[in-house]
Copies of this chain bind each other. A is one copy, B any other.
């Protein structure tokens, strides 16, 4: 039977190591450490190990004769680097040794990675090596490694080299390797005590200090062993060379406790002083482990999710939650960090911030809204830059960038490599102005769930209004149509960068963008009414937002153009005129055609000519808005959406999408859940497998897909339960297949910890004891009051 708390790999597979690396990361929202970087790595340079939140560096490169800037999340020094050898033989190398057994296990409940190897060297000596590692969720600056060596059939000299390695680069993503990947310069190394070393480096452009200190001790039979200690001090590599006598069958345990501080941490004097001060305070591996496990236990209570009959699914969902919480957590609340697309521990997209939070916040809002608040403030702090961007583009308000760099400027690459053709091509994807819609939507959702008026007054309202203002300014009046239009943008579907012949110039009237722009404008106006009069007055004055402009918003929100063809929503104006692609022919020829754009470009064709989407675009409307709400928004715009138009629209685009983004499966299963359970289930499986099965064939090794991971959890928590929070009530409309048994999960709502339990034939909500005010729960028209400590149930 599947253990829903353990991800296990048996046998070593050098080919698959990248995916395992990514999936077996341990982290705490501040530091993330990939799987196999230590002595066993097939290729150390590609798995450098350690990532830290909030450190970015910008470097210049020349590509195709042009100077391009390249901002990357900085890879921290590798704290794991530890090797061993016997009797002066060669250092252990997994690719040369004879591996008798290999077992790797990520304990999800405790967020501990364990690897166990039995190896035989060229001299025939058998050694078992058991390694445990954690990145403390309790003390955010601490990581710990424990390696136990058992000489099964030999006695002799065991040498262990345990170092901190600052020579790492950002080299994980093959197609970026032509770009500068060296970000760290050595400041100093030190040996403050016999057991400990210090490595201090600095990012070579942003000048952020990083200090790492390690305490390395050896234990055997419950007692401290004092090995012969030599110091390794080779440039930016510092550590210990330990030599000791090992005896047949007698385990020897190495403990390496590491602290990490950066110059961007609050509450520090300077990083090296803190790294050294905290090192002796941390106790032993098991002390750290105990507190770490307790912290995770509390997190798992807060993120509780179980399905009676389906341990395999539960395991994947928990793996997804683990990755979410090792990318952002209460440990990152104080840092100026956003939600990177590939987590903290993937180098793809270089740590830039896209729109992924749109798929992630629903999971966080209902459990740790204080974290969502912190992440929204990350955007708020970049509002000034978004204002400048809008102004420079000739608009007003705030234009958030598609790929947000550390200071909130656009970091979208100007050139992008097509690995299929080998061409570096211009990249106009920054035309995805819809990222601002995601920010506004998230502000609104956060406020709806929390009723946090102080946030709205000081930050949220300003963000909503400035984003609304941008849409009010980019929209232009089309006299012929008598409607407002938005030209030259891109929708979520990144295949369509422009019309044939004008490939870089964007498309006009993307339905998703225009409908949501109307929604944003109306929420902006609504927010003004939510503010106390004095705050409203101040904000209007500060933003110099006058009646005339607000009236213009009202008009635009009523009269934006939305394209339709054949009774369905057109993805954008002119979509209908594009060619149909011979999907079967391409599937036959290429197999995987998720990145159809690259295939066509390599054929000297362009995907812009075809009715072919990379991912859900128009269908995003059905994901963000309920059918009722979408009908209302379109109605406000003067369009009617007949009931039969919804399934027609869904099928139309399903048939024309290559799913080149992992987000596609989330949206498609969502939109199909109510109407076609069977087909929805296919997409659910795809969403669940995006990373564990690496369905894009190699992208997982470059970093997990965080939005897809969180989105898969959201499918269970909101889509299948029909969970909605509106009008101060909690609504449930479950569509949950009876054969799957009961699904249970925990949320926080208005201060109540709630447990929802959904069977095929009934739904129950249990409130934890407390002194909060009662809430109202509604299921299919039936309203029930729920008091702390009580339970309500509804038969279905």
Which B residues touch A406, using CB under 8 A? 267-269
Which stretch, A9-17, A160-168, A206-214, A667-675, touches the partner chain B?
A206-214
Q: In the complex the two chains form, is B542's CB within 8 Å of A388's CB?
A: no
Q: In the complex the two chains form, is A206's CB within 8 Å of B270's CB?
A: yes
Indicate whether A266 reaches chain B with its CB closer than 8 angstroms.
Answer: yes
Name the interface residues of A256-275: CB closer than 8 Å to any CB of B. 263-264, 266-270, 273-274
Nearest chain B CB to A526 CB, angstrom units: 12
Indicate whether A351 reaches chain B with its CB closer than 8 angstroms.
Answer: no
Nearest chain B CB to A189 CB, angstrom units: 16
Indicate whether A205 reaches chain B with its CB closer than 8 angstroms.
Answer: yes
Taken together as a complex, chains A and B put the C-alpha atoms of A671 and B248 apart, in Å, by 78
Taken together as a complex, chains A and B put the C-alpha atoms of A56 and B268 apart, in Å, by 10
Which B residues touch A405, using CB under 8 A? 269
Count the copies: 2
Q: In the complex the two chains form, is B266's CB within 8 Å of A263's CB?
A: no
Q: In the complex the two chains form, is B205's CB within 8 Å of A381's CB?
A: no
Partner of A336, one of B266, B330, B753: B266
Which stretch, A93-101, A307-315, A652-660, A765-773, touches the partner chain B?
A765-773
* Chain A 538-555: CB-based contact to B (< 8 A → 1; otherwise 0): 100110000000000000
Which B residues touch A772, using CB under 8 A? 532
Nearest chain B CB to A610 CB, angstrom units: 39
Partner of A382, one of B267, B336, B532: B267
Nearest chain B CB to A123 CB, angstrom units: 48
Indicate whether A385 reaches chain B with its CB closer than 8 angstroms.
Answer: yes
Taken together as a complex, chains A and B put the C-alpha atoms of A139 and B387 apart, in Å, by 13
Indicate whether A408 reaches chain B with its CB closer than 8 angstroms.
Answer: yes
Taken together as a complex, chains A and B put the C-alpha atoms of A772 and B535 apart, in Å, by 13
Which B residues touch A273, using CB under 8 A? 58, 407
Q: In the complex the two chains form, is B534's CB within 8 Å of A301's CB?
A: yes
Partner of A298, one of B270, B334, B538: B538
Partner of A381, one of B71, B334, B377: B334
Partner of A751, one of B267, B298, B453: B453
Partner of A538, one of B269, B301, B370, B454: B301
Name the interface residues of A369-421: CB closer than 8 Å to any CB of B. 369-370, 377-378, 381-382, 384-385, 388, 405-409
Taken together as a complex, chains A and B put the C-alpha atoms of A425 and B408 apart, in Å, by 51
Q: In the complex the two chains form, is B533's CB within 8 Å of A56's CB?
A: no
Partner of A207, one of B270, B334, B532, B769: B270
Indicate whether A530 reaches chain B with its CB closer than 8 angstroms.
Answer: yes
Q: In the complex the two chains form, is A330's CB within 8 Å of B534's CB?
A: no
Q: In the complex the two chains form, is A770's CB within 8 Å of B532's CB?
A: yes
Q: In the complex the two chains form, is B407's CB within 8 Å of A370's CB?
A: no
Given A534-B768, A538-B301 in contact, is the A267-B458 Cβ separation under 8 Å?
no
Name the interface residues of A436-471: CB closer than 8 Å to any CB of B. 450, 452-454, 458
Indicate whether A752 reaches chain B with its CB closer than 8 angstroms.
Answer: yes
Indicate whether A481 reaches chain B with its CB closer than 8 angstroms.
Answer: no
Taken together as a complex, chains A and B put the C-alpha atoms of A208 and B273 apart, in Å, by 14
Taken together as a complex, chains A and B put the C-alpha atoms of A408 and B278 apart, in Å, by 13
Name the interface residues of A266-318: CB closer than 8 Å to any CB of B. 266-270, 273-274, 281, 294-295, 298, 301
Taken together as a complex, chains A and B put the C-alpha atoms of A378 and B266 apart, in Å, by 9
Interface residue tally for chain A (C-beta within 8 Å): 65
Given A56-B269, A269-B405, A369-B454 in contact, is the A530-B771 Cβ separation under 8 Å?
yes
* Chain A 501-545: CB-based contact to B (< 8 A → 1; otherwise 0): 000000000000000000000000000011111110010011000
Partner of A407, one of B268, B458, B771: B268
Taken together as a complex, chains A and B put the C-alpha atoms of A632 and B266 apart, in Å, by 40
Name the interface residues of A183-236: CB closer than 8 Å to any CB of B. 202, 205-209
* Chain A 652-690: CB-based contact to B (< 8 A → 1; otherwise 0): 000000000000000000000000000000000000000
Residue of B nearest to A281 (CB): B388
Which B residues touch A270, using CB under 8 A? 58, 205-207
Q: In the complex the two chains form, is B533's CB within 8 Å of A370's CB?
A: no
Q: Which of A269, A384, A751 has the most CB of B within 10 A?
A: A269
Q: In the complex the two chains form, is A533's CB within 8 Å of B768's CB?
A: yes
Q: In the complex the two chains form, is A532's CB within 8 Å of B263's CB?
A: no
Given A267-B381, A270-B205, A294-B541 in contact, is the A330-B752 Cβ separation under 8 Å?
no
Given A205-B270, A207-B263 in contact, is the A768-B532 Cβ separation under 8 Å?
yes
Which B residues touch A281, using CB under 8 A? 388
Which B residues touch A753, using CB under 8 A? 532-535
Taken together as a complex, chains A and B put the C-alpha atoms of A405 and B370 apart, in Å, by 27
Q: In the complex the two chains form, is A532's CB within 8 Å of B752's CB?
A: yes
Nearest chain B CB to A744 CB, angstrom units: 15
Partner of A458, one of B71, B264, B330: B330
Residue of B nearest to A455 (CB): B370
Residue of B nearest to A334 (CB): B381
Taken together as a complex, chains A and B put the C-alpha atoms of A76 and B566 apart, in Å, by 66
Q: Which of A369, A532, A751, A770 has the most CB of B within 10 A?
A: A532
Q: In the complex the two chains form, is B301's CB within 8 Å of A267's CB?
A: no
Taken together as a complex, chains A and B put the C-alpha atoms of A721 and B202 apart, in Å, by 55
Q: In the complex the two chains form, is B385's CB within 8 Å of A267's CB?
A: yes
Which B residues touch A202, using CB under 8 A? 207
Taken together as a complex, chains A and B put the C-alpha atoms of A378 and B267 apart, in Å, by 8
- Could you show 17 A-B contacts with beta carbons less than 8 Å apart? A56-B269, A58-B269, A263-B263, A266-B336, A267-B378, A267-B406, A267-B408, A269-B405, A295-B542, A298-B538, A334-B381, A452-B454, A529-B771, A532-B753, A532-B768, A533-B768, A533-B788
Beyond A267-B407, A534-B753, 19 extra complex contacts between A and B, CB < 8 Å: A58-B269, A207-B209, A207-B263, A208-B263, A267-B336, A267-B381, A267-B385, A267-B406, A269-B407, A298-B541, A301-B534, A334-B336, A532-B753, A532-B768, A532-B772, A533-B770, A533-B788, A534-B770, A535-B753
Interface on A for B, CB 8 Å cutoff? 56, 58, 71, 139, 202, 205-209, 263-264, 266-270, 273-274, 281, 294-295, 298, 301, 330, 334, 336, 369-370, 377-378, 381-382, 384-385, 388, 405-409, 450, 452-454, 458, 529-535, 538, 541-542, 751-753, 768-772, 788
**A-B pairs, 9 with minimum CB distance:** A266-B336, A532-B770, A267-B381, A533-B769, A206-B270, A269-B407, A534-B753, A298-B538, A534-B768
